[in-house]
Amino acid sequence: MRKNLKAWLYLLPAILFLGFFMVYPLVDVLVYSFEEGYNSASQTFMGVGLYNYSYVLHDPYFLQAVKNTLILVIITVPVSTGLALLISLGLNSIKKLKELYQTVYFLPYVTNTLAVGLVFMILFKKTPYTDGMVNMLIKLFGGSSVDFIDGPYWAKMFVLCFYTVWIVLPFKILILTSALASVNEDYYKAAKIDGASKWRVFTRITLPMISPMIFYLVITGFIGAFKAYSDAVALFGTNLNAAKMNTIVGYVYDMLYGDSGGYPSYASAAALILFAIVFTITVINLLISKKQVSV
Amino acid sequence: MKVKVSHITKIFPSRNKKSKETVTALDDFSFEIPDGKLVGLLGPSGCGKSTMLNVISGLEKPTSGRVYFGEDDVTDLPPEVRGVGLVFQNYALYPHMTVRKNIMFPLENLKGDKKLTKEQMQERVEQAAKLVQITDYMERKPSQMSGGQQQRVAIARALVKLPGILLLDEPLSNLDARLRLQTREELRRIQRETGITTVFVTHDQEEAMSISDMIVVMKEGVLNQVGKPQEIYDDPVNLFVAKFLGTPPINVFRGRLAGGRLMIGSEPVLEAKAAPDREVWIGVRPEGFIPAEDGELTCSFVNVEVMGRDTTVVSTHPDCENASIRSIISSDLKVEPKNGSVKFRLKPHKVHLFDAETEERLRTELLPVGEGREHA
Ligand SMILES: Nc1ncnc2c1ncn2[C@@H]1O[C@H](COP(=O)(O)OP(=O)(O)OP(=O)(O)O)[C@@H](O)[C@H]1O
Ligand SMILES: [Mg+2]
């Protein structure tokens, strides 16, 4: 009992801090989301119920945002993790100039988001003077140019996914290269003696050995992609609803502060729906990883 | 299968990028292992034992020299086609696989006409498991087993594809003293049962002496001596080998040959007829001392340790390299120190002479003091 008391005492600052800045706002958001017709000026509301949720779920902007976010999640998480794995394997197997390559791959991580945004502009944006580098390439191979920033939905989605993958890649590579490097060399030697082919070594030894890290990346990747917002702004500006490129977090933001904003109740409802989705997916992820990861 | 390594040299590039210095892990190394024997590769840490094993297994390519299995030159073959089983120092069992899957892994990799059916694999796994007596643990993960059990799994995994040669890199070093004794007997039994040519790396001379048919003693990448354990013990080629083998270790004295006598300090301890005068190292095995009142060698008495059968007399001598002289004497001999000193006679065949400079063995004939004189 004495010991317990001491433990709680140590935890107290963290608990107070978390309680004040996380639990209290969360509860507040929950409360807001059920208050109908809330007026932020007079701090009054008309009733309690599910109207806010119903409104949000019927709002075409919200549905668009959910669709965008889901596409983003479903495409970028597997692609970025897979790509990072490939690159890490490559980095791990080269001997010469290893550090140099590792630094090169890590550069985007320490580069400012806006600078990366600028690079993407140069790559994709159409201006009166140029169609952008990517379009030049497309034309070179006989295609017709596409406006990636203000053009068709798929083109914009492509750029957003590309950008997101690009942004998250360095971190994943960093994690996976260190995970690969930490696999004891003897396992590979043993596998060589045992006559395992390269592919079998990868699927039966390397992959299981680094699976905890892969699951970590998948889970944090899902959460990160669900919370995406700033990337879309960096590419398409702040009026994301008009560009049909909004994300759920973007929708929440717009409902609070956007031009059509001032609706904390709707924002809260949307935020809680996002929370429910992320929570469910994370729990599913953890359950699967418990079964699979076994080192 | 017979194994022969011929003039193997292995030079590693320096690990430190800045220095250009290279490491010669093996230097013109040759020896031959007869079919079906258990050979101990013995030497101090860092002398190139693991490197030798890796060269035999094919994990490392020698800088020069050839490796033969039977009559075949396998130097350029990759490890998987050489048909060797290798047990790593830390076992390297795949932690995410059960014991059964670990043992089965090498079989699943077999290709072409060697490919086995599921049933054949199961049977082979069972056989290997039975041989090393781990059939009760087949569904466990390696982390749920003791060191000794893990080691047996590692041996089973190495044996399951019926290799021609079994290589073990310090397989017992992770075990506690009792388990080590037990497991090395086990190893010997498995080797006898399978009749598989086995090379076994260790830096523990006692381990090597107790189970090997043959010992290869090496130092800093250079082969020092090959032979049966007792032969090497009785007839070491140099001071290093003499010091490395035997517990308690050989007692080394500074001495000299002078006027047909072997001198330690001012005392002539043995006759050495027809030997030119020179400085020498004198190695005396612990069992080479006979306590005697008229003995030639006078040592300062420290104490007597009685351990079961053996009586060990501990003493010191100013010309002895060892911190203390340990002599094992038969327990019916009485040791009575006089004025704090004991006197010993030396058994000539337990005394080895080495050149003071090169530390190579000198094959000077030694006789007890007096015997030579009678003829003179
Ligand atoms: N890959 C390598 N690169 C550079 N030097 C190496 C390499 N492998 C081994 N060496 C060096 O070669 C020498 C012999 O090493 P080895 O591992 O064969 O020794 P060992 O006899 O097995 O020692 P231990 O008993 O400590 O295992 C050592 O000096 C070691 O530093
Ligand atoms: Mg070693």
Question: Do B157 and A194 lie within an 8 Å CB cutoff?
Answer: yes
CB of B15 shorter than 6 A to ligand 1? yes
Q: How far is the CA of B47 from the centre of ligand 1 (A)?
A: 7
HEC letters along B43-111: CCCCCCHHHHHHHHHCCCCCCEEEEEECCEECCCCCHHHHCEEEECCCCCCCCCCCHHHHHHHHHHCCC
* Minimum CA–CA partner of A200 in chain B: B109
CB of B42 shorter than 6 A to ligand 1? no
Which pLDDT tens digit goes with each residue over A207-241? Answer: 999 999 999 999 999 999 999 888 888 888 878 88
Q: How far is the CA of B339 from the centre of ligand 2 (A)?
A: 49
Sign (positive/negative) of CA torsion B62, B208, B87, B159?
A: positive
* Minimum CA–CA partner of B82 in chain A: A193
Give me the pLDDT at residue B99, please. Answer: 94
- For residues B169 and B151, give the distance between their C-alpha atoms in angstroms, rounded to a whole number: 11
Give me the pLDDT at residue B87, please. Answer: 92
- The CATH superfamily assigned to A57-292 is MetI-like (1.10.3720.10)
Query: For B242-265, what is the mean pLDDT?
Result: 91
Selection from B301, B281, B282, B374 nearest residue B344 by Cα: B301
**A150-154, B106-110, B156-160: the lowest-pLDDT one:** A150-154
- Chain B contacts of A193, Cβ < 8 Å? 57, 59, 79-80, 84-86, 106, 158
Give me the pLDDT at residue A135, please. Answer: 81
Mean pLDDT of chain A: 86
Percentage of chain B modeled with pLDDT above 90? 59
Give me the pLDDT at residue A112, please. Answer: 76
CA distance B94 to chain A (A): 7
- Give the domain ranges of chain A: 57-292
CA distance A188 to chain B (A): 9
Report residue B18's pLDDT band, with 50, 70 and 90 as the boundaries: low
- For residues A125 and B277, give the distance between their C-alpha atoms in angstroms, rounded to a whole number: 96
Sign (positive/negative) of CA torsion A133, A134, A137, A142?
A: negative
Instruction: Give B172's contacts (C-beta < 8 A, 6+ positions apart).
Output: B151, B180, B183, B184, B187, B202, B204, B207
Question: Do B105 and A196 lie within an 8 Å CB cutoff?
Answer: yes
pTM higher than 0.90 for the full model? no
B54 Cα nearest atom in ligand 1: 18
Nearest to B79 among A186, A193, A208 (CB): A193
Q: Do A68 and A236 meet the contact criterion of CB atoms below 8 Å apart? A: no
Give me the pLDDT at residue A204, please. Answer: 92
CB of B23 shorter than 6 A to ligand 1? yes
Q: How far is the CA of A290 from the centre of ligand 2 (A)?
A: 36
Which pLDDT tens digit goes with each residue over A106-126? Answer: 777 777 777 777 788 788 877
**A46-50, A200-204, A244-248: the lowest-pLDDT one:** A46-50
Mean pLDDT of chain B: 89
B44 Cα nearest atom in ligand 1: 25
Give me the pLDDT at residue B49, please. Answer: 93
Give me the pLDDT at residue B376, please. Answer: 39
Cis peptide preceding A25, ω within 30 of 0: no
Give me the pLDDT at residue B247, please. Answer: 85
Which pLDDT tens digit goes with each residue over B171-200? Answer: 888 778 888 888 888 889 889 988 999 999
Give me the pLDDT at residue B375, please. Answer: 45
